[in-house]
């Protein structure tokens, strides 16, 4: 497990205008939460925050004002809806020996035989999973090899069991599967292309025949 480092600067001011000022300076406002203690407001350089992208689920060493080192994990990062730049971050402090509940991303690798040789379609049902473990056992992500999957095969939570990690999701939760492509028959195509033509009713025709 790789441990990231974030240099945080504590702040006493708050409010939308102050947050805008921080962002103009190339920083991102944030809040540090810890069980039973008052939350701490801080700011972090945007470049430092961008450096941990892709490792948000791992353990972080937060250095407050260059001295106080507190272990934590990312609780949430909010992004701008247009430019996707980080606008706020929440960190959750953790204690050694205390289990944490976090969301871990799944990294899928390999080309399934069902896709390569049988024309199947690979479906990613879940991109992350909820786990509980000690901080020392916290992975950045969970690697899943899909190479062995044939048509109709799937991988569920029970298939990726890890030592020292408890998965919160149900064991039979499907994470990824390979399905056969839907074959559209000529009959279906003809039926889909058929137009129902109704002969217009001619008023008076029946009377003339009578």
Sign of CA dihedral 60, 66, 69, 72: negative
**Are 75 and 110 in a shared domain?**
no
Which CATH number does the domain housing residue 22 bear?
A: 2.40.240.10
Number of domains in the chain: 2
Please report the pLDDT score of residue 189 as a whole number: 54
Enumerate residues 6+ apart whose C-beta is below 8 A from 200: none
The verdict on residue 193 lying in a domain is no
Is 37 found in the same domain as 112? no
Looking at the domain assignment, is residue 186 inside a domain? no
Asked if residue 16 and residue 38 are part of one domain, the reply reads yes
Entry pTM: 0.65
Is 198 among the domain residues? no
CA angle 34, 38, 43 (to 5 degrees): 80
Q: What is the pLDDT, as a whole number, of residue 139? A: 85
Residue 135 lies in a domain: yes
Q: How far is C-alpha 10 from the geometric centre of its chain's CA atoms?
A: 29
- What CATH number has the domain bearing residue 146? 2.170.120.20
Max Cα–Cα distance, the chain, nearest Å: 106
pLDDT at 15: 81
Which letter does DSSP use for residue 145 in this model?
Answer: E
- My answer on whether 74 and 151 are in the same domain is no
pLDDT recorded at residue 129: 94
Q: Is 137 part of any domain?
A: yes
Q: Which domain holds residue 78?
A: 4-94
Tens-digit pLDDT string for the chain (210 aa): 557 888 999 988 778 888 888 899 999 999 999 877 888 999 999 988 888 776 666 788 889 988 878 888 888 889 888 888 889 999 989 887 888 888 889 999 999 999 999 999 999 999 999 999 988 888 888 999 999 999 999 999 999 999 999 999 999 999 999 998 876 545 555 555 555 444 444 444 444 444
Where does a domain end: 75, 94, 113? Answer: 94
According to the model, what pLDDT value does residue 205 have?
Answer: 45
Give the pLDDT confidence score for residue 152 in this predicted structure: 94
Instruction: Name residues whose C-beta falls within 8 Å of residue 134's C-beta, 6 or more positions apart in sequence.
Output: 97, 98, 99, 100, 164
Q: Which of 44, 60, 94 is the last residue of a domain?
A: 94
């Amino acid at each position: 497990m790789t441990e990231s480092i974030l240099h945080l600067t504590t702040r006493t001011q708050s409010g939308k205008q102050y947050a805008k000022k921080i962002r103009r300076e190339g920083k991102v406002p944030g809040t540090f939460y810890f069980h039973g203690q008052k939350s701490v407001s801080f700011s972090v350089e945007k470049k430092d925050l961008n450096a941990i992208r892709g490792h948000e689920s791992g353990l972080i060493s937060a250095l407050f004002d260059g001295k106080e080192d507190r272990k934590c994990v990312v609780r949430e990062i909010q992004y701008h809806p247009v430019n996707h730049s980080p606008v706020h971050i929440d960190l959750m402090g953790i204690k050694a020996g205390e289990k944490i509940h976090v969301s871990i991303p799944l990294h899928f690798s390999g080309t399934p035989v069902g896709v390569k040789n049988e024309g199947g379609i690979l479906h990613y049902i879940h991109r992350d999973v909820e786990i509980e473990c000690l901080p020392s056992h916290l992975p950045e992500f969970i690697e899943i090899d899909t190479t062995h999957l044939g048509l109709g095969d799937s991988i569920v939570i029970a298939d990726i069991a890890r030592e020292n990690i408890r998965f919160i999701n149900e064991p039979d939760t499907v994470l990824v599967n390979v399905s056969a492509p839907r074959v559209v028959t000529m009959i279906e195509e003809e039926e889909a292309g058929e137009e129902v033509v109704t002969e217009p009713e001619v008023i008076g025709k029946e009377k003339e025949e009578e």
